[in-house]
Amino acid sequence: MFLETVRSEGLAHLSYLIGDKGKMVVIDPRFDCEIYVDIAYRHNSRITHIFETHCNEDYVIGSTRLAKRTGANIYHGRHTSFKYGDSVSEGDTFELGNILLSILETPGHTYESISIVLADKNFSKEPVAVFTGDTLFIGNTGRIDFFPDQIENCAVLLYDSIFKKLLPLGDHVILYPAHGGGSICGINIASREFSTLGYERKYNPILQMNRDEFIKHKAHEHHYKPPYFSSMWKHNLEGAPSLKNLQEPAPINIDKFAMAINNGMIVLDVRSLEAFASAYIPGSIAIPLEIIPIFAGWFLPYDKPIGLVIDQYEQAEKAARYLIRLGYDNICGYLEHGMYEWGASGHTCDKIPAVYTGEILRRLNMKNTFTLLDVRCKEEFEKGHLPNAINIYVGELPDYLDKIPKDQLITCFCTTGKRAIIAASILKRNGFQKVEDWLGSITACAALGYPVVSR
Amino acid sequence: MFLETVRSEGLAHLSYLIGDKGKMVVIDPRFDCEIYVDIAYRHNSRITHIFETHCNEDYVIGSTRLAKRTGANIYHGRHTSFKYGDSVSEGDTFELGNILLSILETPGHTYESISIVLADKNFSKEPVAVFTGDTLFIGNTGRIDFFPDQIENCAVLLYDSIFKKLLPLGDHVILYPAHGGGSICGINIASREFSTLGYERKYNPILQMNRDEFIKHKAHEHHYKPPYFSSMWKHNLEGAPSLKNLQEPAPINIDKFAMAINNGMIVLDVRSLEAFASAYIPGSIAIPLEIIPIFAGWFLPYDKPIGLVIDQYEQAEKAARYLIRLGYDNICGYLEHGMYEWGASGHTCDKIPAVYTGEILRRLNMKNTFTLLDVRCKEEFEKGHLPNAINIYVGELPDYLDKIPKDQLITCFCTTGKRAIIAASILKRNGFQKVEDWLGSITACAALGYPVVSR
Amino acid sequence: MFLETVRSEGLAHLSYLIGDKGKMVVIDPRFDCEIYVDIAYRHNSRITHIFETHCNEDYVIGSTRLAKRTGANIYHGRHTSFKYGDSVSEGDTFELGNILLSILETPGHTYESISIVLADKNFSKEPVAVFTGDTLFIGNTGRIDFFPDQIENCAVLLYDSIFKKLLPLGDHVILYPAHGGGSICGINIASREFSTLGYERKYNPILQMNRDEFIKHKAHEHHYKPPYFSSMWKHNLEGAPSLKNLQEPAPINIDKFAMAINNGMIVLDVRSLEAFASAYIPGSIAIPLEIIPIFAGWFLPYDKPIGLVIDQYEQAEKAARYLIRLGYDNICGYLEHGMYEWGASGHTCDKIPAVYTGEILRRLNMKNTFTLLDVRCKEEFEKGHLPNAINIYVGELPDYLDKIPKDQLITCFCTTGKRAIIAASILKRNGFQKVEDWLGSITACAALGYPVVSR
Amino acid sequence: MFLETVRSEGLAHLSYLIGDKGKMVVIDPRFDCEIYVDIAYRHNSRITHIFETHCNEDYVIGSTRLAKRTGANIYHGRHTSFKYGDSVSEGDTFELGNILLSILETPGHTYESISIVLADKNFSKEPVAVFTGDTLFIGNTGRIDFFPDQIENCAVLLYDSIFKKLLPLGDHVILYPAHGGGSICGINIASREFSTLGYERKYNPILQMNRDEFIKHKAHEHHYKPPYFSSMWKHNLEGAPSLKNLQEPAPINIDKFAMAINNGMIVLDVRSLEAFASAYIPGSIAIPLEIIPIFAGWFLPYDKPIGLVIDQYEQAEKAARYLIRLGYDNICGYLEHGMYEWGASGHTCDKIPAVYTGEILRRLNMKNTFTLLDVRCKEEFEKGHLPNAINIYVGELPDYLDKIPKDQLITCFCTTGKRAIIAASILKRNGFQKVEDWLGSITACAALGYPVVSR
């Protein structure tokens, strides 16, 4: 019996393969699903079952593509109307070799959420592990804000799913959730990827609350909801989005790239934040490569062509992979020869200066006039921030531009400067002239011992 | 906090890396230890601590090589005299980032055996996982027969280590042992590689016994002890065997290969068992590539050169890797151009015919005279065997040649025919003329419904 | 300016990429054309032009797939009616960076054959290299037997193409042909892959003949024509065969595999020839993996499903790749768990014994009665053969079965035994009972000093 | 017969493997010589001969390491006293399979230089190709300035080697030199890597000169001579530099890195030039990764530890590989977590602003006062430069610091900005305050139509 975890970085998405005696199950496959076929192939196994723990809102599920490729059946919970696959109910069981899987209905995060209990018949029909989807994470639980008028109800459902269905499986049961640390489907998920129901029962802070506290806490939890979520939800209900397959983007020569910009192409610049201190194409949206999975869905449209700016060829393939997982198949290529030739060809460049901590402190001490724009999320801000900073979450920045003084120098910052460079590029696109990115950001500030206040 | 398992196939050896905030621990590194450096590198981490759960008898530990490469410190239990590294005692703790490790002394398998308890300080100082070495496996426990005159004492120690130290850590604690299914360091280890102390407490058959039963059972357990174990033990106490590094073996041309055979070189033929039905070099020892880690130590000397016969170049590198892990650095190369050219050059070949199940059944029905030699281990034989078969374990075959009739056809078999081909080649080396390998072996027989008896 | 050769083994097909300043040309792309896109990508280049030196008969050209992927234009000679791409004429030129390409019409192998002359404008507009397709090879020329009633005319055309168009380009011009040693598009092509027009003019044996000798020689040259050639020709004229894309074949379980055989599936066994000495599925066609590109087209139908028997998973992918290049997209999968489990499950096996040279010599000396069937091609046979062997080329064996005595032992042989195992499997499929494969074949015989006669 | 070229980027070094029938020759192996063993392995061949065309001055030869690994013999010319290997003389021949190699003594670049002539005995004993080392390149010849008092003599020798020995081999002979475009061992070497003696005879500009012109031209050619050349020469005469093997550098934590700087460690920052516009460690030497092979030998000492600053882990391995080829084995590691954490930890940063072309033009039009420092080589400068720029070659910058005004803004530029960032970092290390790097440099300027003057 083997079990393998497939991680999708950025999304912090965890999918699983479980196999025995030549048959294999995949739980929550991602869109670029070739990896599951490869793993099955290496294990001389056929993928026969695909389970979806719930209808995902943060990425395009790969079930229908994987099913088409392998002939496997797709299964999901019965309390939502999917246009594909089969519904399962509490207590349904599936056997493959010595694997015994059984279904628990665990609503809360969504109504159709299920958990999948795993037993090893060689030893016992009792559970050894459980796949909990977005119901229970390590160190936290799933969010429950997708049906704003039913939040309290969802909190109740979630509490009961965890306390009446999952925890009773036993302390010894290993926990395999659908997301790890960094996911936007939960808050404060642990960076550690291994735990048990018993460990969570004892040490997961949310599970230390009583029923009322739990419901109140979850009902009032603050979450951001990127606009692309609704597209994902639609894709994942219909099951077979007519997305083009993942392909290596091709180079676009400078003249065509410039012309495409004039015709409305969005420029997505995935280079390191330092690169912006040197030169970038005016109007670009900056999203450092590794955080595309988290932030692209806030800023990129589905209906316009996207042109990439990269500084290493591998970045093009990776950016395309990250974007297709969010349903973007409108990438028309990348700028051939990169910013070097763009600059060399005489096209206009802009820059977003980087500033480091010493300079910020000097200005603060000099009582210079400038705006400190903290683009971290509300929770991070409340834990500790600079006394004179204003806070607008990077994802929501386009909605609050009027809160930012237009004629001052604006110093964007976050934890390290990555989200800040997104914010800075958004400000620039919206006509702000003097914008800079603070390298090191709040982390550096803390290291220097500068006073940080909390709410 | 990340945790990664490194598997060494054949040995079914599991080593672990645990890291946080740029520092990393390795538990029980293997000889070809480059893989740990690579993983650390990818995680932008330095290896600072190496733990050995005990002095290993089945493979050469890589601690001193890895320490030399990385500057890490080596730690092991204090009840054996190692010539390198530092001793640790019950309760010693180590912190790296949020990782908190603490030592449990868990003797039984050996006297110096330790277990390493892992906590995640982000959540609690209480344990989340434990690395148990060869003390507790999934589905079984370590063997205790290395000090034949002290077996009962070791059984007592092992019982107390498991019941008084490990299990009290709590049902919710995840179990990371040093071996998986197929290891010769235990019997009936589960093929599943994930479990918890709670699951083992409930479903590990050995742990269902009471203290007396347990001690009696372990004290009478039957284990094979390959002759190479003593070399491993010596290597691992001294810590720095002057083994040559792993290298790709070079081709040896046919004439030199033939001459080397005359001068005493041992020929190790790692090809598929079907290949022997066609042609092999007389006198070769057959060990199919993937079971070298288990069987080479029974048959290969350390003091003679070894020449390989392969049919794919990758096999040479893999064979060398498997052999160096067992302390063999005396491989002088592989036969250039393989058996094709050996045959083509006019050198003598021999063959070991393959026979399949239908033919065996026909012979049995005809009451033909031939010897059915079952080379599986005693436990397998006792569970179910052909009524008229004799059983000699493949590893011990050289010691029991006189039990086998010399003038009859001898049909070697096991579960699939792989161990049988080793046996057949050993018989041939010892002058037996009519030897064949049963393709499919007992598995096929069972599939055909032929009556199989048990003890 | 860079030039890279892409080799397709077995077919001995050579395709080329030439690029400068971000643009790239591909000459004679193969079907699985991802490799060209990857190379272009690594060179930060776009493929803008695809040239076909002629309409190929031995593999499916990848032009239309590559054009679809990259947007490149396709060009070929004007004397055949292609259903896609653009025609070029003598003297047409193309410039990309400092690359200057010009077209020579060089008919003979086919009527529309062109050669592509390369100059480096940095130094001169005079040629530095020429891509000759199947017109001129290293050590030989293309074959001219595709229009049987026009052979003499083709020979004249070929002579003039070589002597009036190619050689006059100058001794210093480097030669890049479309095939290397081993191709079935020519005889005795050199194994060396680098040459110049001057070297060929001086040392290519065919070019040492005068016009009449050349025409007579080429007109009487003997070539085999596998039945799949006509399918290739048709594919390559139409340009867009609706072939499925290359995919990793999936495992098929034993029961389904057996059932599919009953329903007419062809079994293609690609394992080593030694494996057949042990066991194979009755009725299989044996083609060792590496010679699939040369021999599959003689034996496999396009309209029946094909099931593979392999002994390593990588072989499935490779076999599928080799087969799609020949237009076979009817592979339904491979036998799960291979011959081990087939045997173990009790299904019937057959075997083709291997015999080695000593045994053959013994029989010859004993004047035993058996048939020596030499399946090499006519030219090889005439150069040297065993006095009492009969010669039927492996490809044509199905047409000459009546020439082979049915009740005798038949010893198939060739140069090493690989083509012989194909022949042996074909004989077995056709009811011959006693068939064996001579390991080492004629090569071994020569090594032993056994008398070999020539015509 | 196979031939494979191994390229070492940056050095533009070309080494070759030629093999037939299981034996292989390597010509001019590089230090990190595992690649030759791998290629031999894939071809099932043994490396039996290693040739050095001459004693190299620009990289550490790998002969003795490769010989130790493979048992091959080393051969080189007899007119220099090597401390290892065997000497060969004009006319010596070597046979491997159908390969026939013969030695031509071709002094000029150095006294012991040899060329190696290749024939394919299958076709003729006359040559098909020649390996010319640094005697004849594609589009140029080797430099002859290593013995400053004997330049005229060397020019005579080189002329005679080319015109009396190489060219007489015949126009049809393929040319395989030891360097391609970009090497510092010659000027204006073609970017095209394929040519023949005939093509060079006709179109190599240097070979169009008569004897006197040639000698005069070569005797007056201008070359730069980096200080590391003398170390290379010494290494390569002695043959077995006690260099440590290539290893992946390990991370060094920020505190230790800072302390090492205080103790004299040289910081080599290999990041993209844009990164410097954001932040770098004061005092670092900037050398963009891909040009380390060309410029490290100008600036780095052999006797001080070197610490790397990278922004991707792969860069550390690549930098170490490039440096060991130049004899630097004094790399102690790379800055853990890169500049992010350096900045975040509050350590001081500096920056080198990037400027783009529009700004430069604006300043020029405004007649602003600033220094345009062109760090390209003399020949590039003379071909075309900005009217008011001063020219100091980047390698020689440390010797001419007094020619640069200390109190003005200094705009470093070259062709693209890469050499300029080296220059800028050297200026900063030497106390210049206002230094910037012109992104796009002269290339951009040309594109904008700004007037460029030539000598």
Residues of C in contact with A248 (CB under 8 A): 37-38, 41
Which of D46, D247, D251 has its CB closest to that of B251? D46
Q: Which residue has the tokens 């066991």?
A: C279
Per residue in A277-327, pLDDT (tens digit) is 888 999 999 999 999 999 999 999 999 999 999 987 789 989 999 999 999
How far away is chain C from the Cα of D417, in angstroms, using its nearest Cα? Answer: 19
End-to-end CA distance of chain C: 50
Per residue in B385-405, pLDDT (tens digit) is 888 899 999 999 999 999 999
One DSSP character per residue, D71-131 reads: --EEEEESSS--SSSEEE-TT-EEEETTEEEEEEE--SSSTT-EEEEEEETTT-SSEEEEE
CB of D337 within 8 Å of any CB in chain B? yes
Q: Which residue has the tokens 């005679």?
A: D160
Q: Are B120 and A190 in contact (CB < 8 Å)?
A: yes
B406's tokens:
């010399």
Per residue in A88-142, pLDDT (tens digit) is 999 999 999 999 999 999 999 999 999 999 999 999 999 999 999 999 999 999 9
CB of C336 within 8 Å of any CB in chain A? yes
CA distance B418 to B274: 10
Single-letter amino acid, residue D163: F
- Cα–Cα separations (whole angstroms), residue D259 to D252, D337, D347, D391: 11, 16, 12, 37
CA distance C289 to C319: 6
Contact C182, C189 (CB under 8 A): yes
Q: Are D44 and B248 in contact (CB < 8 Å)?
A: no
Q: Give the best-scoring range by mean pLDDT among A356-365, D56-65, D91-100.
A: D91-100
Q: Which of A181-185, A391-395, C189-193 comes out lowest in average pLDDT?
A: A181-185
**pLDDT at res. C455:** 59
CB of A124 within 8 Å of any CB in chain B? yes
- Cα–Cα separations (whole angstroms), residue D242 to A212, A257, D238, D328: 72, 52, 10, 11
Which of A69, A71, A248 has its CB closest to that of C41? A248
D224's tokens:
């730069």
Nearest partner of D195 among C166, C3, C93, judged by Cα:
C3
CB of C441 within 8 Å of any CB in chain B? yes
Q: Which residue of B has its CA nearest to D253?
A: B22
In 3-state terms, what secondary structure has residue A383? helix
Q: How many CA atoms lie within 13 A of C3 on its CB side?
A: 22
CA distance A97 to A2: 11
Nearest partner of C419 among C139, C189, C184, C190, judged by Cα:
C184
CA distance A342 to D274: 14
CB of C126 within 8 Å of any CB in chain D? yes
Which of D346, D416, D443 has its CB closest to that of A448? D346
**Cβ neighbours of D242 (radius 10 Å):** 7
Average pLDDT rounded to a whole number, residues C394-416: 93
Mean pLDDT across chain A: 91
What does DSSP assign to residue D205? G
Angle at B173 between CA B168 and CA B177, to 5 degrees: 100
Per residue in A204-242, pLDDT (tens digit) is 999 999 999 999 999 999 899 999 998 888 889 987 666
Residues of B in contact with D248 (CB under 8 A): 37-38, 41
Per residue in D194-216, pLDDT (tens digit) is 999 999 999 999 999 999 999 99
B56 exposure class (CB count in 10 Å sphere: 0-12, 13-18, 19+): buried
Q: How many CA atoms lie within 13 A of B255 on its CB side?
A: 0
CB of D273 within 8 Å of any CB in chain A? yes
Contact C246, C321 (CB under 8 A): yes
CA distance A127 to A101: 9
> Could you write out the three-class secondary structure of chain B?
CEEEEEEECCCCEEEEEEEECCEEEEECCECCCHHHHHHHHHCCCEEEEEECCCCCCCCCECHHHHHHHHCCEEEEECCCCCCCCEEECCCCEEEECCEEEEEEECCCCCCCCEEEEEEECCCCCCEEEEEEECCEECCEECCCCCCHHHHHHHHHHHHHHHHHHHHHHCCCCEEEECECCCCCCCCCCCCCCCEEHHHHHHHCHHHHCCHHHHHHHHHHCCCCCCCCHHHHHHHHHHCCCCCCCCCCCCEECHHHHHHHHHCCCEEEECCCHHHHCCCECCCCEECCHHHHHHHHHHHCCCCCCEEEECCCHHHHHHHHHHHHHCCCCCEEEEECCHHHHHHHCCCCCECCCEECHHHHHHHHHHCCCCEEEECCCHHHHHHCECCCCEECCHHHHHHHHHHCCCCCCEEEECCCCHHHHHHHHHHHHCCCCCEEEECCHHHHHHHCCCCCECC
Q: C120 pairs with which residues across the strands?
A: C99
Chain D contact probe: residue of C42, C196, C201, C290 with most D CBs at under 10 A:
C196
Length of chain C, please?
Answer: 455
Contact C307, C336 (CB under 8 A): no
Percent pLDDT > 70 in chain D is 98
CB of B401 within 8 Å of any CB in chain A? no
Q: Are C122 and D201 in contact (CB < 8 Å)?
A: no
**pLDDT at res. B448:** 67
Q: Are B444 and C346 in contact (CB < 8 Å)?
A: yes
CA distance C195 to A221: 74
Contact A343, D440 (CB under 8 A): yes
C353's tokens:
């014994």
Nearest partner of D373 among D411, D399, D417, judged by Cα:
D411
Nearest partner of B177 among B168, B186, B169, B158, judged by Cα:
B186
Angle at B227 between CA B222 and CA B232, to 5 degrees: 105
CA distance A211 to A197: 18
What does DSSP assign to residue C179? B
Average pLDDT rounded to a whole number, residues C128-144: 97
Per residue in D67-76, pLDDT (tens digit) is 988 889 999 9
- Cα–Cα separations (whole angstroms), residue C69 to A86, A186, B197: 36, 40, 55
B58, pLDDT greater than 70: yes
C36, pLDDT greater than 80: yes
**pLDDT at res. B22:** 86
Per residue in C256-294, pLDDT (tens digit) is 999 999 999 999 999 988 889 888 999 999 999 999 999
CB of D22 within 8 Å of any CB in chain B? yes
Q: Are D172 and C196 in contact (CB < 8 Å)?
A: yes
Q: Which residue has the tokens 């955080």?
A: A291
Q: Which stretches within D192-312 are classed as H helix? A: 197-203, 211-220, 229-238, 254-262, 273-276, 292-299
Which of A38, A44, A250 has its CB closest to that of C251? A44
Dihedral sign for Cα D296, D297, D301, D305, please: positive
- Which pLDDT band, with edges at 50, 70 and 90, does C448 fall under? low
- Which pLDDT band, with edges at 50, 70 and 90, does B443 fall under? confident
Angle at B89 between CA B83 and CA B94, to 5 degrees: 100
Number of Cβ pairs < 8 A linking chain A and chain D: 106
Q: How many CA atoms lie within 13 A of D74 on its CB side?
A: 27
**pLDDT at res. D241:** 63
Contact A449, A326 (CB under 8 A): no
Per residue in D140-173, pLDDT (tens digit) is 999 999 998 999 999 999 999 999 999 999 999 9
Radius of gyration for the alpha carbons in chain A, expressed in angstroms and rounded: 24
Q: Which chains have 3+ CB pairs within 8 A of A?
A: B, C, D
Angle at A441 between CA A437 and CA A444, to 5 degrees: 140
Per residue in A401-436, pLDDT (tens digit) is 999 998 899 999 998 789 999 999 999 999 999 999
Which of D277, D345, D443 has its CB closest to that of A278? D277
Residues of D in contact with C1 (CB under 8 A): 190-192
Dihedral sign for Cα B126, B132, B135, B137, please: positive
Residues of D in contact with C170 (CB under 8 A): 171, 198
In 3-state terms, what secondary structure has residue C301? coil
CA distance C18 to C174: 14
Nearest partner of A360 among A375, A351, A373, judged by Cα:
A373
